[in-house]
């Protein structure tokens, strides 16, 4: 019998998850509010409000895994977006018996002074970090009670195919390809881990299928850290383009702009990620899954496609 999978979200991670599963011969349903067609052969697409627990539960009937690859289009509305969505996922997972695989991030850790590993507490004090920590804590609690099976995969800032404006480096690529100076938040010269969206999808699929991996978080195997300046110019070099000048947005300007632009205000709360080394320890996942990151040159080439 062919496995059936429900992928909620058609962003970069969701698309890669769907493509990987379809290539394995699985039945795949991609659910979005608008019923977006990913263009992946053999994949079914449905329009679904995933925050509707009844509708999501119906869509999840008979599936092997529910993949939470959802990401709000508006970065400023997380408090409104996530609580009902997270609750609906838990209801659907419990009713269907499907594994609940969550695409997480590093926000729950908050500012840290060492490479992040899965044994660290979720100690964030900013509202986005607290919110994402609760998404995992609530799922983990139901897993520990034996009511669902769940796993969360956490990566750092995304690079790779289709990331575009959702990535700190990739949003600079279109201008940089035309030789324009890039302006970045925080420092341009501190090491930072970047994670390929394809590798995130690879680990999410592998972790969902591995019963011994459930009940915990895993960090996506990622390439050695690069500064923002290095990462952007590596992307340019991968397609034969010359480097560009990279400058940091002055703190005073960022603060002033945040008063008028909600998105910048949100990003400023997380600017600690770009003012000191922000490093991911992925050794646990490498050892457990035998997984290595996609070579950096290949990631850069895919990041250059706009």
Q: What is the pLDDT of residues 226-239, one digit of tens each?
A: 999 999 999 999 99
Model confidence at 169, in pLDDT bands (50, 70, 90)?
very high
> Do 44 and 132 fall within a single domain?
yes
Mean pLDDT of 9-18: 97
> Do 19 and 73 fall within a single domain?
yes
Instruction: Give just the sign of the alpha carbon dihedral 274, 253, 266, 102.
Output: negative
Whole-number pLDDT of residue 95 = 98
The total domain count for the chain is 2
In percent, how much of the chain has pLDDT > 70?
95
Residue 305 resides in a domain: no
> Do 266 and 172 fall within a single domain?
yes
Whole-number pLDDT of residue 137 = 98
Which domain CATH number covers 106? 3.40.50.720
> Do 259 and 151 fall within a single domain?
no
Whole-number pLDDT of residue 263 = 66
Please provide residue 64's backbone torsions phi and psi, each rounded to the nearest 5 degrees: -85, -40
Model confidence at 279, in pLDDT bands (50, 70, 90)?
very high
> Do 34 and 150 fall within a single domain?
yes
Mean pLDDT of 215-243: 98
> Do 204 and 218 fall within a single domain?
yes
Q: What is the pTM of this model?
A: 0.95
Give the span between the Cα atoms of 173 and 272, in whole angstroms: 23
> Do 286 and 233 fall within a single domain?
no
> Do 106 and 184 fall within a single domain?
no
Each residue's pLDDT tens digit, 284-302: 999 999 999 999 999 999 9
Model confidence at 78, in pLDDT bands (50, 70, 90)?
confident
Mean pLDDT of 34-38: 95
State yes or no: pLDDT of 259 exceeds 90.
Answer: no
Range from 66-75, 137-146, 182-191 carrying the lowest mean pLDDT: 66-75
Beta bridge partners of 211: none
> Do 83 and 180 fall within a single domain?
no
Residue 46 resides in a domain: yes
Model confidence at 224, in pLDDT bands (50, 70, 90)?
very high
Reading the block at residue 152, the tokens are 């969360």
Model confidence at 75, in pLDDT bands (50, 70, 90)?
confident
State yes or no: pLDDT of 17 exceeds 70.
Answer: yes
State yes or no: pLDDT of 1 exceeds 60.
Answer: no
Model confidence at 306, in pLDDT bands (50, 70, 90)?
confident
Whole-number pLDDT of residue 230 = 98
Beta bridge partners of 248: 184
> Do 28 and 88 fall within a single domain?
yes
Can you give the residue range of the structural domain that contains 18?
4-160+194-223+280-295
Query: What is the chain's mean pLDDT, rounded?
Result: 94
Residue 300 resides in a domain: no
> Do 156 and 29 fall within a single domain?
yes
Mean pLDDT of 2-27: 96
State yes or no: pLDDT of 49 exceeds 80.
Answer: yes
State yes or no: pLDDT of 51 exceeds 90.
Answer: yes
> Do 59 and 178 fall within a single domain?
no
Model confidence at 264, in pLDDT bands (50, 70, 90)?
low
Each residue's pLDDT tens digit, 153-167: 999 999 999 999 889
Residue 306 resides in a domain: no
Residue of 64, 51, 53, 65 lying closest to 91 (CA atoms): 53
Residue 301 resides in a domain: no
Whole-number pLDDT of residue 72 = 83
State yes or no: pLDDT of 212 exceeds 70.
Answer: yes
Residue 64 resides in a domain: yes
Residue 304 resides in a domain: no
Give the span between the Cα atoms of 146 and 306, in whole angstroms: 44
Residue 66 resides in a domain: yes
Give the span between the Cα atoms of 118 and 105, in whole angstroms: 12
Give the span between the Cα atoms of 114 and 288, in whole angstroms: 22
């Amino acid at each position: 019998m062919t496995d059936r999978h429900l992928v909620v979200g058609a962003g970069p991670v969701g698309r890669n998850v769907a493509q990987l599963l379809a290539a394995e011969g699985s039945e795949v349903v991609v659910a979005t509010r608008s019923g977006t067609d990913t263009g992946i052969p053999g994949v079914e697409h449905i329009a679904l409000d995933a925050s509707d627990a009844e509708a999501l539960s119906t869509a999840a009937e008979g599936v092997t895994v529910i993949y939470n690859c959802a990401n709000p289009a508006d970065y400023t509305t997380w408090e409104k977006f996530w609580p009902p969505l997270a609750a609906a996922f838990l209801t659907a997972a419990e009713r269907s018996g499907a594994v609940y695989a969550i695409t997480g991030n590093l926000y729950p850790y908050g500012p840290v002074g060492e490479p992040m590993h899965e044994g660290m507490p979720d100690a964030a004090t900013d509202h986005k970090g607290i919110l994402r920590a609760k998404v995992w804590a609530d799922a983990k609690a139901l897993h520990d009670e034996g009511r669902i099976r769940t796993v969360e995969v956490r990566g750092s800032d995304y690079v790779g195919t289709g990331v575009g404006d959702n990535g700190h480096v990739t949003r600079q690529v279109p201008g940089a390809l035309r030789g324009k100076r890039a302006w970045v938040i925080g420092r341009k010269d501190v090491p930072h881990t970047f994670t390929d969206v394809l590798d995130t999808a690879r680990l999410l699929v592998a972790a969902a299928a591995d019963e011994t991996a459930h009940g915990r978080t895993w960090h996506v195997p990622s390439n050695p850290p690069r500064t923002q300046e290095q990462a952007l110019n590596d992307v340019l070099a991968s397609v034969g383009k010359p480097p560009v000048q990279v400058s940091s947005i002055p703190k005073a300007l960022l603060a002033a702009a945040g008063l008028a632009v909600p998105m910048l205000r949100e990003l400023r709360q997380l600017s600690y990620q770009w003012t000191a080394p922000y490093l991911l320890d992925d050794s646990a996942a490498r050892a457990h899954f035998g997984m290595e990151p996609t070579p950096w040159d290949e990631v850069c080439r895919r990041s250059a496609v706009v």
